[in-house]
Amino acid sequence: MADLTTIDGLQLCFDPSAISAVADHDADTQQAVTTVYGLTAGRLRIAESVDALLNRVAAAKNFARLTRLDGTFIWVNCIALKVIRSPLPGEYADGAKTVFSIGTLIQAVKQTLPEVKLAVNACGGKL
- How far is it, in rounded angstroms, from Cα 18 to Cα 37? 9
For the purposes of burial, counting CB atoms within 10 Å of the CB of 4, is it exposed (0-12), middle (13-18) or buried (19 or more)?
buried
Average pLDDT over residues 42-66: 97
Q: Is the pLDDT of residue 104 over 90?
A: no
Is residue 33, in this structure, part of any structural domain at all?
yes
Give the model's pLDDT for residue 75.
98
Its domain, for residue 102, covers 2-122
Q: Which of 102, 80, 76, 96 is nearest to 17 (CA)?
A: 80
Is residue 64, in this structure, part of any structural domain at all?
yes
For 114-118, the CB contacts below 8 A with 24+ separation are: 116/64, 116/66, 116/84, 117/84
Average pLDDT over residues 81-107: 94
Q: Is the pLDDT of residue 103 over 90?
A: no
Give the model's pLDDT for residue 110.
98
- How far is it, in rounded angstroms, from Cα 65 to Cα 74? 6
Is residue 127, in this structure, part of any structural domain at all?
no
What whole-number percentage of the chain has pLDDT above 70?
Answer: 100
Output the domain CATH number for residue 45. 2.40.50
What whole-number percentage of the chain has pLDDT above 90?
Answer: 95
Report the domain count for the chain. Answer: 1
Q: β-strand 63-67 against 43-46: which pairing, if any?
A: unpaired
- Note the pTM of the prediction, 2 decimals: 0.95
- Mean pLDDT for all residues in the chain: 96
Average pLDDT over residues 13-18: 97
Average pLDDT over residues 34-50: 96
